[in-house]
Amino acid sequence: MRRTTVWTVVLLLAGGLACASTGSGGGGGGSGAITSQELRDLQTQYDNMFELIRSERSMWLQTRGSVSFQDPSAALPAVFVDGVEQGQPSALRRINPSDVEEAEFMSASDATTRYGTGYPGGIIRVSTRGG
């Protein structure tokens, strides 16, 4: 009986580790960041960052559950450009991909650590070349 219990624990731990997330926050296209090299390769294909992210990292734009019946959009990720909050993902439509150095998705827990509470949908952080 004891040997069975040990193997059960080992299998549960192994299964849990295999399913664990890396925390990268990626989606649609893989990693949690869009690097400057990737942006150089993609910038001519898209008119704005919203279109680029919708195509290359679609998971970044999804809601993360309903936070409030009064404001269902609260679970959308907030957008920060060079450290300044810009609002919801629609703000990405004003940003030209050629002006961006890097874009990154931060989960709600990572966003809370860096920017404080109030970001249940996470954050899309954009760093521009001039910022």
State the residue for tokens 């991909």.
Answer: 97
pTM over 0.85: no
Nearest to 61 by CA among 95, 84, 23, 27: 27
Nearest to 59 by CA among 122, 115, 102: 122
pLDDT per residue as tens digits for the range 60-106 = 998 766 555 665 555 899 999 999 999 999 999 999 999 999 999 99
Amino acid at 111: A
State the residue for tokens 């070349």.
Answer: 129
**24-63+74-128: what fold?**
Ferric Hydroxamate Uptake Protein; Chain A, domain 1 (2.170.130)
Rounded Cα distance between 17 and 12, Å, is 9
Mean residue pLDDT across the chain:
80
List, in sequence order, every beta strand (DSSP E) within the chain: 33-34, 78-81, 84-87, 100-106, 123-128
Domain range list for the chain: 24-63+74-128
Q: What is the pLDDT of residue 9?
A: 52
**β-pairing verdict for 123-128 and 100-106:** antiparallel
Rounded Cα distance between 88 and 92, Å, is 8
- Torsion, CA 25, CA 26, CA 32, CA 38, rounded to 10: -170
Q: What is the pLDDT of residue 27?
A: 41
Per cent of the chain over pLDDT 90 is 60
Residue 5: strand, helix, or coil: helix
Dihedrals phi, psi of 87, to nearest 5 degrees:
110, -145
User: What is the number of residues in the chain?
Assistant: 131
